[in-house]
Amino acid sequence: MKYTQLLFVAVAVSAANVIKDPTAGYKEGDRFFYSPGDEDDILHLVDSHEAVDEEFIQHYARNPNNNVYWLFTRDNPDNHQVLHFNDIDSIYNSNFDTSKATVFLVHGWNGNGNNNKNRRLREDFLRDDDVNVIVLDWNRLANRNYVTAANGAPAVGRALGQFINWLVSLGASYDQIHLVGFSLGGPLVRNAGWETGGKIKRITVSAENITKDPTAGYKEGDRFFYFPGDGDHTLHLVDTQAPVDLEDNPDTHQVLQYNETFSVVHSNFDTSKDTVFLVHGWIGNGNNDMNRRLRDAFLQDGDVNIIVLDWSCLAYRDYVTAVLGVPEVGRALGRFINWLVSLGASYDKMHLVGFSLGGHVVGNAGRETGSQVRRITGLDPAGPLWHINEDRITENDAKYVEVIHTNANFLGYPNPCGDADFYPNGGVAKPYPHQTLPYSTLHFDEEKCITHTLSQFCYADLTFQGVSAANVIKDPTADYKEGDRFFYFPGDGDDTLHLVDSQEPIEQDFILNYARNPDNNAYWLFTRNNPDQQQVLHLNDAASLHNSNFDTSKDTVFLVHGWNGNGNNKMNKRLKEAFLQNNDVNIIVLDWNRLANRNYVTARNGVPAVGRALGQFINWLVSLGASYDKMHLVGFSLGAHLVGNAGRETGGKVSRITGLDPAGPLWSRNTDRITEEDAQYVEVIHTNTNFLGYTNPCGDADFYPNGGGSMPGCWTNTCSHGKAYDYMASTVTYNHLLANQCDTLRDATRNRCNGDLNPMGNSDLNKYKVASRQPPAGRDPRSEETPYS
């Protein structure tokens, strides 16, 4: 999901005479300025030093009903219907239609749900198409002072994102959602998009004039340029010849209580643990998004000390003053580190992380310690005014210095300056701009480049980028062994790793309650007549079947997601499209997200009950005329074990089951796992036997592409795990992957197979159908197969 920021110029006239724009002449750092109130043509005087009403923001954020959602449709174009978060009746009793596109309209400062902007856009959208229009009225916060409203916008946005996630859980689709935000509503809808994981289809930030990127065209030596404030998406005009203001340069060591042993002894600081320092950049502060995201990521990953350096008193000065103050801020941080070591801490347990100007701050801090700290990570160190600046970050500032360059074409420093310099996407502004770098995401594997240019042509010798401890570490899912208490597991191929505690309490009450209500399993029917809009089928509700496009004479394919997945995820979309393109079949997607999104241990323990419910649903379909011989069950990760239990509930009568890299952790001694007895023919495709997937043969045919451990093009277990459904979708379309039969599992996992060729995957329901549990002629029922390469 890309977010586009559009800049605008507001023009106003005053009283009797036409005067120049009162917003003109503003320069960054002015205490007072004028800002229009949400396109109402009224300019309001803003005091940038006005106190932020944090108590009001927190009170507002605690109650989700402070966000008011007004629904308009063609059936009620003028009179809104109020929707309440987590109140299903408010949805069912309204005109909201999950099959239609949904547009959210979000006002800005001093606005409300009834303002002219919302009315005009609502009328335009409803005139153009039959859609749901939901107006977010957040006027209780939007009508506070500008500084308070701006500080509260992210919390309002996150609440909107949670509301959208809830709508999707009720059948709406991220692919049909469009967010439109004006003025402060712009950053608000961006936060909503982030809360959904970037899944929504489109975001529009409304503005008066569309301008080109004002940072483009800069060359070193220009007097004026624009620079963003520490990832806040706000561009500030910089005058490199502005008078340098050193008078109020802050004494940062006093802020951090340097030399006050009492403040350390009576804190939770533990000298035996690793310590991570986080340092923001220009126009940043200790509470900004960068610090929050990195803090949360580090604390989730390990039991460490996190020390956030807030140098906002200097960072909020003009850019030139901030640049000249960086070395002293860094040296003060270095002296603070030396003092901590004198109290028992260790340089070998220190990791300094700095963004933008903060990248140069941590370099100076490391230098002040005599380069004794263990590791420094510079996140796109600032570029302007640093090209010939000897105080920039260098490879000599710590035992190991790593630099990640994401905007080397201007905002970031372009040249190598560490022991290892990473240039994702060549170090240019795509796919993520400088100010939206996903700091805490562990998802880049970079190659060591032949030269130090920005060339993307690199050779192998891979290093995992952006990890958390003092040393550069490999894939955090590596080295797991069955029985370990803690491990990482991805959320159903979404590339996000979640820390799992295998001893976390099982939510048995939730599982029992889930299993008691068969409607907690949602069955979504897709056919060639409705390839994009699902029809919901209900167990024991014959009318839901007869009034749908379900055809008992056609083959039926069930698709089942895994942990932290849902019916709309990438796996289901890819496989649904492949099967419908290949043949005229019924596709039924099982959405069990209410249980799948609990902790891993609870979800794992709930799999058998969900599987049995699916089996009962299949038995019911057969009682209405469907045939077991036309049933194909496909499940990914935890979903693979789920379809095994479903097949078992039918007495092993379904024609075929395909398990796509069945989940491995906590399944090695679990009798509820998928087995060869669960259907007439059970096929399993293993793509990550290294950890995330189940290793041993468990079907009538087990395929181990590339040996089953690591897939081509993948450098993490998460990527290899997700390849299972990619391969399946490809074989359904092309039926092109062949495998040599193997004599032993050892041969399969080492690519040493020379037996007969057999097709992997595909959609053939008669493939190797086992009569009376007997294998095809000349084939060992417990053999393992791996694609020929």
In this predicted structure, what is the pLDDT of residue 423?
Answer: 82
**CATH fold of 32-206:** Rossmann fold (3.40.50)
Among the residue ranges 474-478, 497-501, 721-725, 755-759, the one predicted with the least confidence is 474-478
Q: Domain 490-699 maps to which CATH number in 3.40.190.10, 3.40.50.1820, 3.60.15.10, 3.40.109.10?
A: 3.40.50.1820
Query: H/E element holding 289?
Result: helix 289-301
**Closest among 208, 268, 245 to 8, alpha carbons compared:** 208
Structure tokens at 141: 């916060």
More confident residue, 254 or 482: 482
C-alpha separations of 416 from 14, 215, 393 in Å: 53, 22, 10
Q: Residue 149, exposed/middle/buried by CB under 10 A (0-12, 13-18, 19+)?
A: buried
Instruction: Give residue-wise pLDDT tens across range 89-124.
Output: 899 899 999 999 999 999 887 778 888 778 888 998
More confident residue, 632 or 29: 632
Instruction: Give residue-wise pLDDT tens across range 704-746.
Output: 998 888 887 676 778 888 899 999 999 999 888 888 888 888 8
Residue 461 has pLDDT above 60, yes or no: no
Residues annotated as part of the active site: 637, 661, 721
Residue 574 has pLDDT above 80, yes or no: yes
pLDDT band at 751 (very low <50, low <70, confident <90, very high): confident
3-state secondary structure of 182: strand
Count CB neighbours of 251 within 10 A. Answer: 11
In this predicted structure, what is the pLDDT of residue 439?
Answer: 31
- Amino acid identity, position 577: E
Q: Where are the beta strands (DSSP E) in 686-789?
A: 701-703, 738-742, 757-759, 784-787
Domains 224-465 and 490-699 share a fold: yes
Return mean pLDDT, the chain: 78
Q: Order across the sheet with 350-355: list the strands.
A: 305-309, 275-279, 350-355, 375-379, 400-404, 420-422
More confident residue, 442 or 137: 137
More confident residue, 462 or 302: 302
What number is the average pLDDT over the span 59-69?
Answer: 72
Phi, psi of 187 (to 5 degrees): -60, -25
In this predicted structure, what is the pLDDT of residue 252?
Answer: 39
The angle subtended at Cα 469 by Cα 463 and Cα 471, nearest 5°, is 50
Phi, psi of 680 (to 5 degrees): -60, -35
In this predicted structure, what is the pLDDT of residue 389?
Answer: 87
Which residue(s) pair with 685 in the sheet?
660, 703
Calpha distance 542→538 (Å, rounded): 8
Spell out the domain ranges in the chain.
32-206, 224-465, 490-699
Structure tokens at 700: 């009538």
Asked if 12 and 22 count as a contact pair (C-beta separation under 8 A), the reply is: yes
pLDDT band at 34 (very low <50, low <70, confident <90, very high): low
Answer whether CATH 3.40.50.1820 is correct for domain 224-465.
yes
